Structure 1
Amino acid sequence: AVHPSLSVAHLDGLTDTPSTAFTWLAALVWPLTLAEGAALGARLNTPADWLRVIADTARLKARLPQLEQSGLTPSGVCALLDGLSPDALRAATLLAQPPVASERVRRYLAEWWSVAPRLRGSDLLELGVPAGPAVGEALRALRKARLDGETNNMEDEQRIARKWATQSYFDAQP
């Protein structure tokens, strides 16, 4: 056997099938822990893109309890899932239990992952946000606000950015 934890039994009840080879890989390694996935990758001498899918699948599985929490906001879901392999995420929509976790992953893929602020970095500079790390922080804060329904239009984002610019200025003063 390649690995004692590697089995296809968990795939028996799938109502849908993975759409890509990497999603199949993520589904296949779903039962493995991060350490087991790393051992499998080393044993098979897998390429880096395979290793990423295997590792991200284990990381995602470890985050499922947090994805189940009631009251988790869209920005909270994004904080847990941003940066993970899309194939690991697609496998989770098929295999994650309880259903609330798989539904949140599904919504992330369908709606939330692509949400971005309406304002750009250059807009923030014009509104007084100091150049440098503050621009990135402001963009992240605006994305969070948009995800959580705190902004509905450009004016809302400009209001938040102006407040951010003032706050960042005063936070930077000795």
Structure 2
Amino acid sequence: MINLEGLILSQSNPFKKKLSEQHLKIINSVESAVKTTGMSVYLVGGTVRDILLNRSPLDLDFLIEGSSDTQYFANLIGGTILQESQFGTFKIDFEGEIVDFAFSRQESYPTPGQLPIVEKGTFRQDLHRRDFTMNSIAIAVGEDGEFSTLIDPFDGENDIREKKIKILHDKSFQDDPTRILRLFRYSGRLGFTVEDSTKNILIRDLHMLDILSPDRLRNELQLILNEDTAHLSLKEYVNYDQKMYLFDGAKINVANLIKMDDEKVKSSKFSEKLKFAILALSTPIELLDGCISKFNFQSDWLDIIDSVFELQNVRKNLIEPGIRNSDLFALLNKINENVLKACLIIDGFSDVKDVILIYLNDLENLSIQLSGKDLIQLGVPEGPNIGKILNELHVAKLNGIIFSLDDEKDFVRKIFNKN
């Protein structure tokens, strides 16, 4: 096994070739700004991993040794702090680009699964606190932004070459169980397999997911759903975890999870919500309540769960012979659109697919042209009848009784005259 600790990089090394001109400019600017301060600059984490994977990094991850004052550092490099965390990480708007920075730190976990105690540390201590060997590699940035040294204390480059995910020590998942879900996220994104010893420890520690707070669980699930390869990550998780700790014991329909790779999902503006709808519909309905409390879902995510229950309640009504369009609209308009679209993609909803298509294609956006103000101009007195007539207009349009603006006006006159 090659020891890459302290490997000196030649000036012709390929690392720079994978970075954009803008990224190289930022690296050089940061190094130039701090070189007289005693600080040291490193590229770390995903930036180094992507370069070693022969990919061009989308983002820059900097590790700074020798300071813990974010405002001083931001002023030094001429940037603006956009976001700052309690763990010494911060985002800076620097030369028009959002760049991730972190001060080197060390962490300890007095209680498994809880947030760590963070202290100032060296860059080597920072590499030792990380999740996987592939993320524990640093490139030292030397004078004029040149890459001088590759620091790889855990032989992470070899694991990247072999496409393996490996933890740094056997208490890693106990210290931070979110690493379990992060492992599956990386597995799906990178196409890596789990290294043998890590696999055994993973299986041993899957139950640690139960001690995570709902907010931390939800955050990790949402990060997975944000990935283009969410279906692969979730499938891999289901294959590993026979007790389904993440989903409160619910057995997930794996065949449906694969449908997250459908082109309709990829092209969706809010694809993570559509993938979540697929996941919710792939969960046994009687176990969804447990999932809600386990993840503490809120706002629009909770609306998707509620809509799955609502769909279950109205499903029989949707397939009644001769159902009117207005009744169809009334039943489906209460259901989150992502849930309806998910029904069209996955298996198990063939009985309602036709009516969902009618609703989405023909009814959902079918509106009347007249407004309440128009009704008053047509002679309808102000009051509760305005809303009632507008509703009757909409029902008539949904049912194909009226079509044009003139039809709407005639319809109003008939109602008004009748009353």
TM-score greater than 0.5 by the shorter chain: yes
Is 1:151 the counterpart of 2:396? The answer is: no
Q: Cα offset for 1:8?
A: 2.6
User: What's the counterpart of residue 137 of structure 1?
Assistant: 388
Q: CA RMSD in A?
A: 2.4
User: What's the counterpart of residue 81 of structure 1?
Assistant: 332
Q: Cα offset for 1:13?
A: 7.9
**Alignment-mate amino acid for residue 316 of structure 2:** P
Is the Cα contact below 8 Å between 1:74 and 1:148 reproduced in 2? yes
Task: Return the alpha-carbon distance in structure 2 between the equivalents of residues 143 and 16 of structure 1.
Answer: 37
Task: Return the alpha-carbon distance in structure 1 between the equivalents of residues 301 and 359 of structure 2.
Answer: 22
Task: Return the alpha-carbon distance in structure 1 between the equivalents of residues 359 and 255 of structure 2.
Answer: 24
Render the CA deviation track for 1:80-117: whole Å, top value 9, x for unaligned. 01132111111122247553511211221122111111
**Alignment-mate amino acid for residue 66 of structure 1:** N
Is the Cα contact below 8 Å between 1:75 and 1:144 reproduced in 2? yes
Change in CA separation of 1:122 and 1:11 when aligned onto 2, cut-off 3 Å: same
Q: How does 1:21-32 map to 2 (within 5 A)?
A: 21-30=272-281, 31-32=283-284
Q: How does 1:1-174 map to 2 (within 5 A)?
A: 1=245, 2-9=247-254, 11=256, 14=259, 17=262, 19=265, 20-30=271-281, 31-33=283-285, 36-95=287-346, 97=348, 99-167=350-418, 170=419
Task: Return the alpha-carbon distance in structure 2 between the equivalents of residues 166 and 139 of structure 1.
Answer: 16
> Could you say what secondary structure the match of 1:152 adopts?
coil
Richer in helix (by share):
1
> Could you say what secondary structure the match of 2:252 adopts?
coil
Structure of higher CA gyration radius: 2
Change in CA separation of 1:55 and 1:36 when aligned onto 2, cut-off 3 Å: farther
Q: Cα offset for 1:140?
A: 1.4
Render the CA deviation track for 1:117-164: whole Å, top value 9, x for unaligned. 121111111223232322122111111111111012222211211233
TM-score (norm 2): 0.37
Q: Cα offset for 1:23?
A: 1.2
Task: Return the alpha-carbon distance in structure 2 between the equivalents of residues 96 and 117 of structure 1.
Answer: 35
Change in CA separation of 1:121 and 1:16 when aligned onto 2, cut-off 3 Å: farther
Structure 1 portions without partners, runs of 5+: none
Richer in strand (by share):
2
Q: Cα offset for 1:6?
A: 4.2
Change in CA separation of 1:74 and 1:96 when aligned onto 2, cut-off 3 Å: farther
Change in CA separation of 1:132 and 1:42 when aligned onto 2, cut-off 3 Å: farther
Is the Cα contact below 8 Å between 1:64 and 1:96 reproduced in 2? no
Task: Return the alpha-carbon distance in structure 2 between the equivalents of residues 6 and 126 of structure 1.
Answer: 59
| Aligned structure 1 segments of 4 or more residues deviating by more than 4 angstroms | 12-16
Is the Cα contact below 8 Å between 1:142 and 1:160 reproduced in 2? yes
